[in-house]
Each structure stands twice: as C-alpha cells, then as structure tokens.
C-alpha cells in the first residue's frame, strides 16, 4: 500500500461508504503511523492481527479523532472517490464504461448526490463522449482532502 496522505484520504472515504473491509483497518493505521500520526487508538488498531466487526469501526473513528479528522458524509466521500475515478478515466487508466459503473455504485451508496447522478445513464458505447465531458466537469472542482496543507 502506498503510504501517503492521499492514500489515507481514499481509505477514510471508502470507510465512510462501507467499502473498506474491517480487516484492512490495521494496515491503514500502520500507514498513518508511518506518516507521523500517532495516538493510543491508532496504535491499538495497528496492532490488531485479526480484526472483527465488533469495536473496530469505533476504534477507527477514535483514531481519526486523535489526528483531528472528522468523518465526512457519505456524499462527500463518494464525490471524493468519484473524482479519483474520473481522473483515471481522463488519463486512460480506466475503461470509461466500467469506471462509470463504479461511479454509479458510489452514487447509490451515498444516496444519489447530484454531482454523480448523471453517471447512472452513461452505460453505452455512444455515451462515452458525454461520459468524458462529465468527468471533466466533475474533476474541475478542487479536490477536498482530509489533510489540508
């Protein structure tokens, strides 16, 4: 796993949407420690060998508070991740129609934020030019981050 503030942004967003496995949380905590974030909950979470559902989510939320992070809404997390996917589409790293389906899944998980609803109807080859344009619009806004510089 790449250890960067950006990778933590992605992991925290995935957690907000229920798309991050509890078994991945110790690795995220280890990454946070390597980036200089520290606290009792982060250390405890990083030390878990076989995390389970019970208590791990609460522990992750405590760890976030220790480093001064308030959990985003599902909407904000979905838009963050959708922008990442949009950048990948524009850079040619993801196939547009499959990636649009990923964005649609984020939209559904976040109760249909207006910025992402359009992607639900872009699912055919002839939609690709419009899909590319929607990605440009989506990524044009500055990306929010949990870790402002």
Domain ranges of the chain: 5-66, 74-140
pLDDT tens figures, 11-59: 999 999 989 888 899 999 999 999 889 999 999 999 998 887 777 878 8
pLDDT tens figures, 88-146: 999 999 999 999 999 999 999 999 999 999 999 888 998 899 999 999 999 998 877 77
| Cα separations in angstroms, 55 against 42, 52, 60, 146 | 13, 8, 9, 23
Are residues 107 and 140 in contact, defined by beta-carbon separation less than 8 angstroms? no
- What is the three-class DSSP state of 106? helix
Type and span of the H or E element at 128? helix 128-140
Per-residue model confidence (pLDDT) at position 1: 43
pLDDT tens figures, 55-93: 787 888 899 888 888 878 999 999 999 999 999 999 999
Are residues 77 and 110 in contact, defined by beta-carbon separation less than 8 angstroms? yes
Q: How many CA atoms, within 13 angstroms, populate the side-chain half-sphere of residue 47?
A: 7
Residue 2 has pLDDT above 50, yes or no: no
Helix and strand numbers, DSSP H then E, in the chain = 7, 0
Give the CA dihedral 103, 109, 113, 118, nearest 10 degrees: 40
Query: Which is higher by pLDDT, 5 or 81?
Result: 81
């Amino acid at each position: 796993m790449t250890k960067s503030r950006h990778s933590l942004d992605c992991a925290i967003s995935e957690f907000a949407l229920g798309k991050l496995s509890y078994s991945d949380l110790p690795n995220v905590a280890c990454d946070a420690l390597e980036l200089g974030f520290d606290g009792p909950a982060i250390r405890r979470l990083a030390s878990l060998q076989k995390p389970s559902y019970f208590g791990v989510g609460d522990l992750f939320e405590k760890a976030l508070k220790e480093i001064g992070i308030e959990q985003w809404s599902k909407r904000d997390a979905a838009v963050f991740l959708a922008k990442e996917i949009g950048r990948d589409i524009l850079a040619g790293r993801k196939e547009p129609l499959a990636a649009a389906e990923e964005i649609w899944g984020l939209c559904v998980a976040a109760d249909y934020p207006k910025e992402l609803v359009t992607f639900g109807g872009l699912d055919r080859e002839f939609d690709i030019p419009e899909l590319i344009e929607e990605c440009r619009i989506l990524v044009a806004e500055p990306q929010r981050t949990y870790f402002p510089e």
